[in-house]
Amino acid sequence: MSTINLSPVLDSAIANVLSKFRHQLIQTYLDTKKNCIEARCEAMKGNTNSFVLTASG
């Protein structure tokens, strides 16, 4: 009975998924950061309604 070594294939697949996930995570982080900055600017202008909307959305 022969054993097939799936480790390299598995490692490659995991690395692939992690890479895509990390990219998505960074993108989400940047979008969130951008929204927070915009919300903060709105709040500084005294427009608190849009601050609440942006923060919850």
Condensed to tens digits (0 to 9), the pLDDT of residues 2-46 reads: 666 778 888 999 999 999 999 999 999 999 988 888 888 777 776
Local structure of 11: helix, strand or coil: helix
Task: Give the integer Cα–Cα distance in Å for 21 and 6.
Answer: 22
**What is the model's pLDDT at position 27?**
92
Q: What is the pTM of this model?
A: 0.48
Q: Where are the domains of the chain?
A: 28-57
Tokens 């998924």 belong to which residue?
Answer: 17
**What is the model's pLDDT at position 24?**
93
The contacts of residue 55 (CB under 8 Å, 6+ apart) are 35, 36, 39
**What is the model's pLDDT at position 57?**
46
**What is the model's pLDDT at position 49?**
56
